[in-house]
Amino acid sequence: MKPNVHLSPDVAAALAAGNPVVALESTIITHGMPFPANYETAVDVEDVVRANGAVPATIAVIDGQLRAGLSDAELKALAASDGAVKASGRDLAVAMVKKATAGTTVSATMRIAAMAGIEIFATGGVGGVHRGAEDTFDISADLTELGRTATTVVCAGVKSILDIAKTLEYLETQRVPVIAYGTDDFPAFFTRTSGFKADHRLDSAEEIADAMRLHHALETGTGLMIANPIPEEAALEPAFIDGTIADAVREAEERKIARKDVTPFLLARINELSKGRSLKANIALVKNNAALAARIAAAYARAGKG
Ligand code: PSU
Ligand code: MN
């Protein structure tokens, strides 16, 4: 028997009616941003989804329950919590047994969203192949999940804490189409270009919704990555952010930070070293992704209703 995903009333109603729903992850809340910016951003992102015609479903594990759609009080408690763990897809069963509260990574959020019947998901950045992966083997489970779960993930590309070229290669191996929105370039999270081309470019939410439908009709079984560049006015200068990231990566190596602690350490350190500039950019791009995801979800639901 499949474990139940507990839906909030508005998420349940939207799914039952075939109305657009956008999943949102929660590791960005528990391990990606400091309090209270994490809470404020989570609330704002939900509002952006609503303003663009879809119902937001923030996904997390609360006291061992898989949840899609949190109340304001739950969102705040999660954001303020020191005890919430970081759960990727493989950690969910144990989190449920232990009645733990967990922020869900992209891989765990995709899994729960798929079980709930939510096909579109917005986040900031996905995990990927880390720099030095040839020695550490550090490749995020987000990429393997994209290779086996048919969820569309809207992100701002991946940041250069990762090896972007290897991440794109790995997505190719996993049969995940990488579609840049309104640009030929694969964006690098804080900047609009990474120096690498995306596989494909599409220029409207309607075309992306069509591509989703066909990708699933072909029974590929894989997700789609939609790479949405950070808004021009929020983008950081490459020289500044690349230097900051290089410093943070060096520090992580020196301090022997490993495995699931690597990404949270780097995000927090980049925020400190950039004196909050990375956080500001992060907030702007997450909202931008939420808006695009909601418009794709609306187009997808419209076509589904014929
Ligand atoms: N990258 C970001 N912000 C984030 C994450 C990654 O720019 O918040 C989070 C996401 O939840 C992602 C997870 O799924 O980190 C990946 O962790 P790891 O690299 O340990 O797989
Ligand atoms: Mn890792």
Ligand 1 in reach of 105 Cβ (< 6 A) = yes
Is 159 designated active site?
Answer: yes
pLDDT one-digit tens code per residue, 26-46: 999 999 999 999 999 999 999
Establish if 258 belongs to a structural domain. Answer: yes
Residue 162 lies in a domain: yes
Cα of 129 vs centre of ligand 2, distance in Å, is: 8
Q: Which of 85, 90, 106, 245 to mutate to test the pocket of ligand 1 (most atoms within 8 A of CB)?
A: 106
* pLDDT tens digit sequence for 72-114: 999 999 999 999 999 999 999 999 999 999 999 999 999 999 9
- 306 belongs to a structural domain: no
Measured in Å, residue 201 CA sits from the centre of ligand 2 at 28
| Mean pLDDT, rounded, of the chain | 97
45 within a domain of the structure (yes/no):
yes
Q: Is 305 a catalytic residue?
A: no
Averaged pLDDT, 44-69? 98
Residue 141 in domain: yes
Percent over 70 (pLDDT), the chain: 100
Is residue 222 situated within a structural domain?
A: yes
Q: Has residue 51 been placed in a domain?
A: yes
Q: How many domains does the chain have?
A: 1
Question: pTM of this prediction?
Answer: 0.98
Asked if residue 196 is part of any domain, the answer here is yes
CATH number of the domain to which 228 belongs: 3.40.1790.10
pLDDT score at 187: 98
Kindly state the average pLDDT of the residues 9-36: 98
- The best mutation among 58, 61, 126 to test binding of ligand 1, ranked by most ligand atoms within 8 Å of the C-beta, falls on 126
Structural domain containing residue 134 = 5-301
Report residue 201 as tokens: 């470019």
Which ligand number lies closest to the CA of residue 33?
1
**Over residues 55-70, mean pLDDT:** 98
